[in-house]
Structures are given as C-alpha cells and as structure tokens.
Amino acid sequence: MTAAGCFTHLDTPLGRLLLTADPDGALTSLHCARAVPDELRADPGPFAAAREQLEAYFAGELREFRLPSRTHGTAFRQRVWEALDEVPYGTTLTYGDLATRIAAPRAAVRAVGGALGANPLLIVRPCHRVIGSDGSLTGYAGGLDRKVHLLALEGALKA
C-alpha cells in the first residue's frame, strides 16, 4: 500500500461501488461511480471484511456493519455522522429528528442535509434512512433509485 492508501471496486445490486482505505486498512470512503484518486493504488486485500459484510447486507443477512473506518469532517459533520450510525436497520427518521438527536436547533436541517451529502461512507453509514418531514424520499448522494432500493431491502419501504 502507498502512504495515501488503496482502493477496490465491488459489484453490487446498486451497481459498481468504489471503496477506499487509508494505509492502515481503515475504510475511508464508499461511493457509487466515482473516479479513483490518482494517489490510490488498486489493492483488494484490505477490503475483505467490507466485501463480506456488504454481500451479507445485500443478501438480507446483515443489519449492522462492523468495519474499521476513518473519515474526516467538521465537528458538526462528525456529530451528524455519529448520530446516523445509531439509526437502526429498517427504520427512518427525518432531517429534523436527526438535528434533535445531536442537540442542534430544528432550523439546522439544511446543515444536517449538507452533512449527509458529505457522508463518505454510503450504505455503511446509513444516510439513506433519513427522509423529508412529509415522508418524501429527499436527496441521496447515490441517487434516489438507490435510496429506494436500500429502504425496500431493509423493509422500511414497500418496493
């Protein structure tokens, strides 16, 4: 592995995913259809656990990911992401609910949305479980069709 880390791709029911890890093997990102940063080296080795857990998740056999990860964001984004990690499989909550969970004013829903949009660990950090206050399936960095698929997989939405 180089000092910058490595990457691999994984074909899933959502399409091809890009996974990246730091030099210690901690997962740093999981995205749909992104360009690979030049400084990363292809190496599937550090991703065995991620591959296994993602395959089990898509097979309906895994409800909670347990993967070493290391992501970077502002203190506010880190608080949002930590709260997001606590949203149970098969449930949804609103942006306002998430703001309340981190003790931010409900008016912070746009900032919460910005933190969700910057979430580097799609699927693993379940931003797909956050919906609009009227129950609408608002934004998802992976695309609304993927959000629908994930919520249906978890039983939180009828397909």
Contact 73, 81 (CB under 8 A): yes
Distance CA 42, CA 77 (A): 29
Is position 6 annotated as part of the catalytic site? Answer: no
What distance lies between CA 134 and its chain's CA centroid? 23
Q: How far apart are CA 89 and CA 138, in angstroms?
A: 19
**Residue 115 backbone phi and psi in degrees, to 5:** -65, -40
Of 127, 130, 131, 150, which residue is the catalytic one? 127
Can you point out the beta strands (E) in 33-139? 41-42, 93-94, 130-131
- Cβ atoms of 43 and 8 within 8 Å: the answer is yes
Dig out the tokens for 91 from the structure: 């449930």
Query: Cα–Cα distances in Å, from 121 out to 74, 132, 133, 135, 139?
Result: 15, 21, 23, 23, 15
Active site residues: 127
